[in-house]
């Protein structure tokens, strides 16, 4: 396997040359090999949405130039659309503030952006993580992910289940059965009444 040398405040570290993450992700990957559970894709996508929004806000207030803002937005959009999912290898078992995953996202976005621009102009901390803290990014990303999962997965499933139960209620209108109370037979009820309770 080929490696490149990445440097951070701790020093140098070898990172697989075909990976888009950097030194901090590699250190976390090597130092915390706990469990097989990876960060949910919905949380990764939500974090990319947040990075886009923050780049727009930083640009609007004159902190981030147009070129870097567009590179962050384009790079994050690729992650949101499902590309680069293999670039997020970290375990869910990490610090409560999600610092490792936040830095993983920052490093991947900056690497993608620099590849697009064909020059290293995006820095993971100085540009991608501008005006942010892991203590804000991680819980905000959890809220975004929860909202999207509720809206796009849970509510449609519940609505489908409701439609099926309404259909079953109508189909079983004429069936009478013995009700049950405290593990004993009780007064007769229609099966449709029982379904209506579900």
Q: What angle do CA 144, 146, 149 make, to 5 degrees?
A: 110
* Confidence band, pLDDT 50/70/90 cuts, at residue 137: very high
pTM, two decimals, is 0.86
The whole-angstrom separation of Cα 198 and Cα 185 is 20
Q: Does domain 3-153 have CATH number 1.10.275.10?
A: yes
* Confidence band, pLDDT 50/70/90 cuts, at residue 175: very high
pLDDT value for 127: 99
DSSP 3: E
Q: Mean pLDDT throughout 130-141? A: 96
8 has a pLDDT exceeding 80: yes
pLDDT tens by residue, 35-58: 889 999 999 999 999 999 999 999
25 has a pLDDT exceeding 80: yes
- 59 CB contacts (<8 Å, ≥6 apart)? 65, 66, 69
pLDDT tens by residue, 146-166: 999 999 999 999 999 999 999
Handedness of CA 17, 20, 22, 26 (dihedral sign): negative
Domain ranges of the chain: 3-153, 163-197
Longest CA–CA span in the chain (Å) reads 78
The whole-angstrom separation of Cα 137 and Cα 65 is 21
- 15 CB contacts (<8 Å, ≥6 apart)? 3, 4, 5, 6, 21, 22, 23, 26
């Amino acid at each position: 396997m080929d490696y490149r040398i990445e440097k951070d405040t701790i020093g140098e570290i070898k990172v697989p040359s075909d990976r888009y993450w950097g030194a901090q992700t590699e250190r976390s990957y090597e130092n915390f090999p706990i469990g097989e559970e990876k960060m949910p894709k919905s949380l990764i996508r939500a974090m990319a949405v947040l990075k886009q929004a923050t780049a727009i806000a930083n640009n609007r207030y004159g902190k981030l130039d147009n070129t870097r803002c567009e590179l962050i937005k384009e790079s994050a959009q690729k992650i949101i659309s499902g590309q680069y999912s293999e670039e997020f290898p970290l375990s869910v078992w990490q610090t409560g503030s999600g610092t490792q995953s936040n830095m993983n996202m920052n490093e991947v976005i900056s690497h993608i952006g620099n590849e697009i621009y064909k020059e290293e102009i995006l820095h993971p901390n100085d540009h991608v993580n501008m005006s942010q803290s892991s203590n804000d990014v991680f819980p905000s990303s959890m809220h975004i992910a929860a909202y999207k999962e509720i809206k796009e997965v849970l509510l449609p499933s519940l609505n489908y289940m409701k439609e099926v139960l309404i259909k079953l209620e109508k189909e079983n209108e004429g069936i009478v059965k013995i009700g049950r109370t405290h593990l004993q037979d009780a007064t007769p009820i229609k099966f449709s009444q029982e379904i209506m309770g579900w």
